[in-house]
Structures are given as C-alpha cells and as structure tokens.
Amino acid sequence: MRSLQPLLFTFLVHLSTPTTVTWMRNAVFNLPQNFVGGKLPCSKQTVLFPEELQEPIRLVGNVSVSEIILPNDGELYLDDVIIALGVDAEEQCEDDRQVEFKDVSYSSWEDPDVWYSEKFNEATPDAERVPCHEDIVLFPKNTQIDIELPKDTQYINMMIIGDTEVLDVDSLRANFSFDFILNDYWETGLAFVNTKCSSKAGCPCQINTPEIKCYKKNCPEPKCLYPIQPTGHCCKICGGSITFETTPSFNMVAFKETVDKIVGSYNRDQFVYHVSKLPQTWESFIDSTEREARNKFNDISGKVHVIVVEKGEYTGVSTEVINELYHSMSRMESKKLFLSGNPINMVGFGWKVFISALLIVMGIMGVIYVYYYRLPDHWIRNFSLNMSIPGRPVLSRFQRRTDSVLSLARRDSEVSRISTGGFRNPMYDSKRGRVVVTESVEEEE
C-alpha cells in the first residue's frame, strides 16, 4: 500500500498544479494586431513607434527589422530578446515600407493573443490560450487598458493585479480603477472557484467555451495540401489531430505518457503536441456555485482532443506521428482522425519525376530509332568521313563496298558478272532454313 502513495501524489500534482497566465496585450511588440495592417514587420521594413507611448512595450524572442524609430517618450523592456537590424537575404519579405506600431488601449478577455503562459505552444488551440479554471491570472504593474470581460462565465483560480491578490468578484469590482468593462449582462463574467481537477479522465479548460475573437487573428497561409482546423483553432494548420470519447476506465495521465512516448520515438525537438479535454456542455451565462462547478469540471464524460504539429517547416512527418498514435488506440471508441496533406512544395513531385523519366526514355528511344532507321544515307557517309580523321575513333555501321550501286540478280546471270557493286541481305542466313525460294524460268519462244 505504501508503494502506491508516491504514485497517487504524483497523479494529483500532475492534474492540479496551477499555472500562471499573464496579460500581455499592452506590453508585447511581437503581436501582429499591434501593427497597422495586422502583420509583424520583416527584415526589410522600418518600425515607427508613436511619439509617446502610454504603456511600457516588451520585446521578446527574435526581432528582425531594417530599422526602429524610437518614441520621444516611452519605455521599452528587452526580455531575453535578440534584435537583428538589416535585411535578411533568406527571409521572404514583401516590401520595404514603413510599419506603424499601434499603442492600443482596448482589448478583450477572449482575445487569445493577449495572454502568455509557458504551457502554450504552436499546437495549443486559441480557445485554450485564455485562462483556464486552475490558472492564476496576472496583470503586471502600471497596466492601463480597457478590458472587455467575457460574456459566458469563465472560471479562474485567482487574479493578481500588480501586487494585489483578487480572490472573489467583490474584490474585482473594488479594482475597477483598472478599467474593466462589464459584459452584455452588466456582469463581470468571471467566477473565482478553487477547482482542482481530481478526475483521472482529465478536466476541460473551461465548462463554457469562450467566444474567441477569431476576427482579430492574422492567419498565415498553410504550407500544406488540405490543411485541417482542429476544434478551438481560429486558423487552419498543417499537422494531425484525433478526437475520441472517454470511457470510465480512461486515464489521462497514462494517455499523455503514451503520446509523449510516441512523439519521442521520432524526434522530440521537431514536434509539439497538445492534449486536452473538450467541454461537454455549451451553456449560456450562468453563475454556478463552487460545488456545481467542481462537479462539472470533474465529469468523466466528454471528448479528448490531441493535436500534433511540427515546430519549423512542415514536412508531413507530424501526420505519421498522429497516425501511429491513432492505430495504438485500439480500445478507444468513436475515434476521428484528421490529417493534412503533403507539403505544397512536394505536391505533384511524384508525377514530375515520372513525366521527366518518361520524357528521357522517349528521347533516348527516338534517337535510337532515327539513327538506325530514319537517318539519310549521305548523313551516315559524311559522319563516317568526319570520324575518320586521324586521332579520332572510327564508327562503322555497314561493310560498304566501293560503289553505291546496288543490284539484285542471280549469281550465275550475266548481270552479276557485270555489276561492280553488291548487296548482302543480313537476314538471309537466319531464314534460309525456313523459307523456300522458288525460281521460275520463262521459256523463250
């Protein structure tokens, strides 16, 4: 019995460890909607900041631009960032125009690109890029922005505004100097419930799926044939996904270990994956009690969603990973597999190889045919003379005689003794045993 205690403890920690989701809307340089035109600048473009910044702007990751025109008044935070100034020859950049950075002061709770968490990756659906019921929501200090609160109730663990902890709706209302905007029901749309997932089948991110603002997304063009759009994603992507119904015996922790093992059998650094429990109900705005909410989150029914994508350029290997996982799930019911097609740069590659090989073969056969059967006699003679130059190899196709006059006659006739040229049928010897030639002599009158 003692041996089971560490395993049980690990299981509960795995399911119940809260994560921090940070509001980044007013602080991030690397968001497409922060620029006029809705696209991130490239290495040929110049970034122009407003003359005055109302908020401190944070630069993270890799930034590659031609030039940055800084504001007269404002703050920029460099958070583990690499800034490359100048044109990158390998980058596909459309033009070298100037791009303006917008100092936006309004956003929505349900905008997926305003949140940051270490648990997010390229496979995470937009519907789960907002705070989940176990998350701690963090708003940095000196955040000055109008935030539209969600319409359908979203459950969170707690909220931290600057240095202040917010544990209930009343405390949230007391912090409305932060410029929260009530939803259509004149409510906050948030519920603070300390719900820890205790179901071995896993829990959904939220009971009520948030109304994600997909119209704000700048979806890149998928680099594959027949891209897929998994549940919760605003954009079509290249990769693979599986959805299936859970059973009373389903174990989310064991299933995630299986997924991780299969992904690791290929190249772990090449892929990212996301496993989650989908909401079972689609409710309107309802303020549930803590007990009701906890029961709903720990409901064993519902579907599980798996998404596997590649980190860099799409090669199609991610579909092989998800396909292997699909065939390993022999006991799961109502499985649905979604796979994107081949990379666009590989579309028709097989046909191109086949047609090229066919043209090469046809060309070789055509040369052989022309050379042996259709090449004029004077071309051959001239070619033979040209090849007879000293120091060059001599090509000889026929055993030619001194004359080009050919005659057909009986060997004992007068014509054969007179003629200075001759013709020898190369097929005669092979057929003489099978062909009987009959001669007829006309009598002289």
Instruction: Supply φ then ψ for residue 130, to 5 degrees.
Output: -115, 165
Residues 329 and 335 sit within 8 Å (Cβ to Cβ): yes
Residue recorded with tokens 């299986």: 258
Sequence length of the chain is: 445
Count how many Cα atoms sit within 13 Å of the Cα of residue 317 in the half-sphere of its side chain. Answer: 17
Contacts 24+ apart (CB under 8 A), 34-38: 34/101, 34/102, 34/104, 35/99, 35/100, 35/101, 35/102, 36/99, 36/100, 36/102, 37/99, 38/218
Kind of pairing, strands 190-192 and 154-156? parallel
Residue-averaged pLDDT of the chain: 76
| CB neighbour class for 389 (10 Å; exposed up to 12, middle 13-18, buried from 19) | exposed
Token digits of residue 363? 């060309």
Cα separation, 262 vs 259, whole angstroms: 5
pLDDT at 49: 87
The model's pTM is 0.64
pLDDT digit string (tens) for 277-299? 988 754 444 455 777 777 788 88
Q: Which residues contact 26 (CB under 8 A, 6 or more apart)?
A: 55, 104, 105, 107, 143, 144, 145
Residues 217 and 291 sit within 8 Å (Cβ to Cβ): no
Cα separation, 108 vs 180, whole angstroms: 10
Whether 433 shows a pLDDT value over 60: the answer reads: no
Kind of pairing, strands 46-48 and 98-100? parallel
**Residue 370 has what DSSP assignment?**
I
Of 181-190, 303-312, 369-378, where does mean pLDDT reach its minimum?
A: 369-378
pLDDT at 292: 77
* Beta bridge mates, 245: 303, 333
| CB neighbour class for 443 (10 Å; exposed up to 12, middle 13-18, buried from 19) | exposed
Of 89-93, 224-228, 376-380, where does mean pLDDT reach its minimum?
A: 376-380
Angle at 154 between CA 148 and CA 159, to 5 degrees: 75
Residues 185 and 151 sit within 8 Å (Cβ to Cβ): yes
Using CA atoms, how far residue 339 sits from 239, 314, 326, in Å, is: 6, 13, 11
Of 103-107, 121-125, 245-249, where does mean pLDDT reach its minimum?
A: 103-107
pLDDT digit string (tens) for 397-406? 444 444 444 4
More confident residue, 16 or 168: 168
**Residue 372 has what DSSP assignment?**
I
Helix, coil or strand: residue 335? strand
No. of helices (H) and no. of strands (E), the chain: 9, 19
Token digits of residue 361? 């073969």
